[in-house]
Amino acid sequence: ETGVTQTPRHLVMGMTNKKSLKCEQHLGHNAMYWYKQSAKKPLELMFVYSLEERVENNSVPSRFSPECPNSSHLFLHLHTLQPEDSALYLCASSQVGDRGRAFFGQGTRLTVV
């Protein structure tokens, strides 16, 4: 138990579907992250939210849309994905300003068919 919970753990979706990944942290942190992990690019940083504001968006396609309604919750909305988007999506949280270490969730294994 890391204090960061991701749901669902596994997701299979068609290319025309819309789905959302959820992340919740119980650590009182003020920053949350989405990473994509695949064989081609291990731990690719997608989005960073610090104090509920998006501060990093690393050239991620618009078919991925993040949402951070408060400091404890982070969502990744998915629509019209491609098969190459199949990967492990990891959420993490940290305490910004304290060179805080990242605590990761268990990840969501996404398969796009």
Partner 1 sequence: GQQVMQIPQYQHVQEGEDFTTYCNSSTTLSNIQWYKQRPGGHPVFLIQLVKSGEVKKQKRLTFQFGEAKKNSSLHITATQTTDVGTYFCAGEKLTFGTGTRLTIIP
Q: List interacting residues with partner 1 (CB under 8 A).
A: 2, 33, 35, 42-43, 45, 48, 56, 90, 92, 94, 99, 101-107
Pick the closer one to partner 1 by CB: 5 or 17. Answer: 5
Pick the closer one to partner 1 by CB: 66 or 107. Answer: 107
CB 5 within 8 A of CB 27: no
- Least gap, CB of 110 to partner 1 (angstroms): 15
**Longest alpha-carbon distance in the chain:** 42
Contacts with 97 (C-beta within 8 Å, 6 or more apart), sequence order: 30
CB 34 within 8 A of CB 46: yes
DSSP type of residue 71:
T
- Least gap, CB of 1 to partner 1 (angstroms): 12
Pick the closer one to partner 1 by CB: 17 or 37. Answer: 37
- Least gap, CB of 88 to partner 1 (angstroms): 9
